[in-house]
Amino acid sequence: MKFRLLECLRCPNCLGRLELSQARIERRPQRATCLLPPCQGICPFPEQTSSERNCDECSRFEVVDGKLSCVNCGGVYHIENGVPGLQQRGPEADAVEVDRTASSFGFLWRQTRISDVPPTQRHHFSKLQEKLSLLPLRGLVLDAGCGEGIDLADLGRRTDVEIVGVDVSDGGCLASASRTLDFSNVHVVKADLSCLPFDKSTFDSTYSYGVLHHVPVPSQAASEITRVVRLDAEVAVYVYEDFGERSAGLRLSLSCVNWLRRFTTRLSPKVLFRLCQIMSPVVYLICTVPFLILKHIRPLQKAAYAIPFRHGLGPFSLIGDLYDRFSAPVEYRYNRESSAELLAEAGLEVRKVVYERGWMVLGQKSTTNGGSGSL
Q: Mean pLDDT throughout 176-182?
A: 88
Model pLDDT, residue 58: 64
Q: For residue 371, is it within any domain?
A: no
Cα dihedral 324, 150, 13, 330, rounded to 10, equals -10
Q: Mean pLDDT throughout 152-163?
A: 86
List the single range of 47-61, 95-109, 295-309 with lowest mean pLDDT. 47-61
Q: For residue 96, is it within any domain?
A: yes
Check: CB of residue 30 under 8 Å from CB of residue 2. Answer: no
Amino acid present at 335: N
What is the C-alpha separation between 162 and 33, in angstroms, rounded? 9
Our count of domains for the chain comes to 3
Q: Mean pLDDT throughout 197-213?
A: 95
Q: For residue 186, is it within any domain?
A: yes
- pLDDT tens track for 116-130: 555 545 688 999 999
What is the C-alpha separation between 13 and 73, in angstroms, rounded? 8
Determine the structural domain holding residue 302 and report its residue range: 266-327
Domain with residue 161: its CATH number is 3.40.50.150
Q: Is there a single domain that holds both residue 71 and residue 102? A: no
CB-based contacts of 11: which residues, under 8 Å, 6+ apart? 17, 18, 70, 72, 73, 75, 77, 86, 197
Q: Mean pLDDT throughout 194-223?
A: 95
Q: For residue 213, is it within any domain?
A: yes
The answer, yes or no, to whether residue 30 has pLDDT greater than 60, is: no
Model pLDDT, residue 70: 95
Q: Is there a single domain that holds both residue 41 and residue 160? A: no
What is the Cα 99 distance to its own chain's centre? 17
Q: Is there a single domain that holds both residue 162 and residue 218? A: yes
- pLDDT tens track for 133-157: 999 888 999 999 999 999 998 898 8
Model pLDDT, residue 40: 45
Strand order in the sheet with 61-70: 18-27, 61-70, 76-80, 83-84
Of 54-58, 100-104, 299-303, the range with the highest mean pLDDT is 100-104
- pLDDT tens track for 330-366: 999 999 999 999 999 999 999 999 998 899 999 999 8
Q: Mean pLDDT throughout 89-99?
A: 78
- Assign 158 a pLDDT band (cuts: 50, 70, 90): confident
Amino acid present at 166: V
End-of-domain residue from the set 84, 108, 126: 84
What is the C-alpha separation between 363 and 217, in angstroms, rounded? 19
Q: Is there a single domain that holds both residue 323 and residue 338? A: no
The answer, yes or no, to whether residue 131 has pLDDT greater than 70, is: yes
Of 15-29, 206-220, 248-262, the range with the highest mean pLDDT is 206-220
- Assign 2 a pLDDT band (cuts: 50, 70, 90): confident
For the chain, the average pLDDT equals 87
Q: Is there a single domain that holds both residue 32 and residue 179? A: no
29 backbone dihedrals φ, ψ, rounded to 5° = -80, 65
Is the torsion defined by CA of 194, 94, 318, 245 positive or negative?
A: negative
Domain with residue 49: its CATH number is 2.20.25.10
The answer, yes or no, to whether residue 111 has pLDDT greater than 90, is: no
What is the Cα 170 distance to its own chain's centre? 13
Q: For residue 192, is it within any domain?
A: yes
What is the C-alpha separation between 51 and 45, in angstroms, rounded? 12
Q: Is there a single domain that holds both residue 147 and residue 234? A: yes
End-of-domain residue from the set 84, 110, 144: 84
- pLDDT tens track for 209-228: 999 999 999 999 999 999 99
Q: For residue 209, is it within any domain?
A: yes
Q: Is there a single domain that holds both residue 225 and residue 295? A: no
Between 231 and 43, the higher pLDDT residue: 231
Q: For residue 127, is it within any domain?
A: yes
Q: Is there a single domain that holds both residue 218 and residue 350? A: yes
CB-based contacts of 286: which residues, under 8 Å, 6+ apart? none
Q: Is there a single domain that holds both residue 224 and residue 312? A: no
Between 34 and 54, the higher pLDDT residue: 54
Q: For residue 249, is it within any domain?
A: no
Between 245 and 274, the higher pLDDT residue: 274
Q: What percent of the chain has pLDDT over 90?
A: 63
Q: Is there a single domain that holds both residue 310 and residue 176? A: no
Model pLDDT, residue 160: 81
User: Which residues are 2's β-sheet partners?
Assistant: 62
**SS3 assignment, position 70:** strand
Q: SS in 3 state form for 163-227?
A: EEEEECCHHHHHHHHHHCCCECCEEEEECCCCCCCECCCCEEEEEEECCHHHCCCHHHHHHHHHH
Model pLDDT, residue 242: 93
- pLDDT tens track for 36-76: 555 544 455 556 665 665 666 666 678 899 999 999 999 99
CB-based contacts of 317: which residues, under 8 Å, 6+ apart? 280, 284
Check: CB of residue 201 under 8 Å from CB of residue 229. Answer: yes
Q: Is there a single domain that holds both residue 10 and residue 99? A: no
End-of-domain residue from the set 84, 100, 132: 84
Check: CB of residue 168 under 8 Å from CB of residue 190. Answer: yes
Between 91 and 309, the higher pLDDT residue: 309
The answer, yes or no, to whether residue 370 has pLDDT greater than 50, is: no
Model pLDDT, residue 371: 46
Strand order in the sheet with 348-355: 186-190, 161-167, 139-144, 203-209, 229-239, 359-365, 348-355
Q: Is there a single domain that holds both residue 345 and residue 210? A: yes
DSSP string, 230-260: EEEEEEEEEE-B-STTS-HHHHHHHHHHHHH
